Amino acid sequence: MAAPTEIAGRYRLERRLGAGGMSTVFQGTDRVLERPVAIKLLAEHLADDEAFVARFRREALAAARLQHPNIVQVFDSGRDPDSGRHYIVMEYVDGPSCADLLREQGTLDIDQALAIVRDACHGLDYAHQAGVVHRDVKPGNLLIARETGAAKLADFGIAKAAEQTRITQAGSVLGTAAYLSPEQARGEEAGPASDIYSLGVCAYQFLTGKLPHEYRSLTELALKQQNDQVEPIRDFRPEVPAALDDAIRVALRRDPAARYETALEMARAVEAGARGESTEATRLLAGAGAWGDDATQALDPTRVAPAAPYEPEPVTPPVAPQQRPERARATAGRQLARAALLLAAIVAIAAVVLVATSGGGGVQTPDEQTVHDQVDALKQLVRDHTRP
């Protein structure tokens, strides 16, 4: 069915700005207040999911309460009586998304990347203080206002509303797999630390033009997320200050407790890092030596943590020796690690398949492998990692 030309007898739809699996966004005009707006029409098939619609309405109300210069303002939402389409009316941001900038430029200038990350941190901190978690921070949801240069976070609430819908019950995950935090990939509830991780992925990509884990297949992505270290930014951009490299990679720690406590703390850390300085939080969280597992050991306040390879935390927490014999502890750890690895592989495949079919921007999708090929590869992965 074609999109309506007017919604709620008030909002005129003028041109399409973008589309995905869940919605289509139009530039339009509020004829009552005579101002430009962005109008998001939810996909027609979602109107039949009563649970989704109820969650969508609750989350739209929560998002509408967020009024901050670094958050796209939600003005209105509802259901158009004529077309039956559910809609959200938002502030229109005249400018590109960060996904557009990455496609055009490859990488961003250090100052430009710093300004975007700082603005996003302030927007996230305000939302977190209000009890709202974004859950889908990615370059496509970071918009740059052409007039002021400010970065604004868009699409608060959509990810939360989609949780446990028929889409996710079918085994899919909302969002771009590469930007999901490890806890989200495990199916756990997303919190403020999850948004910090996702923004850390964006910051890493802004400066390097690469994701922390590059991949050519879905199985490869799942394995790298579990096992590989995040390479220092300075390996790709030597001009990036070591302290800034450290500050961004702290946000990418696998354990949520080992990341910044707040988004504002992250903002302060990246600003200091750009000056070649480190904050107390960065020194504390970077840990001793070459990014070891100790995420809480304090360092000498005069010492900046080195930009050495990031050592990911173990998949399973260590168990004290007195709790079980060494052999039993090692066996249990291997079993849990295998389970976590397989779960991550399954979720990563579902996530990237959904994004690849939804037409989202700025996504790195598997090349020249069909979904059938990936399923076969996953089956082999299961067999390889479940042998005694």
CA separation, residue 9 to residues 5, 13, 83, 386 (Å): 10, 11, 11, 59
**Residue 166 host element (H or E):** helix 166-169
- Among 80, 43, 74, residue whose Cα is nearest residue 58: 74
288 Cβ contact partners less than 8 Å away, ≥ 6 residues apart = 294, 297, 299
Is residue 136 part of the annotated active site? The answer reads yes
Q: Which long-range contacts (CB under 8 A, 24 or more apart) does 66-70 make?
A: 66/126, 66/127, 66/130, 66/132, 66/156, 68/122, 68/123, 68/126, 68/127, 69/123, 69/150, 69/152, 70/119, 70/120, 70/122, 70/123, 70/126, 70/150, 70/151, 70/152, 70/153
- Among 111, 116, 114, residue whose Cα is nearest residue 151: 116
Report DSSP state, residue 123: H
The answer to whether the CB of 13 falls within 8 A of the CB of 3 is yes
**Axis crossing angle, helix 263-274 with helix 110-129, rounded to the nearest 10:** 160
- Among 208, 200, 178, 215, residue whose Cα is nearest residue 105: 208
Among residues 119, 125, 136, 245, which one is catalytic?
136
Q: How far apart are the first and last CA of the chain?
A: 54
Which residues are designated catalytic?
136
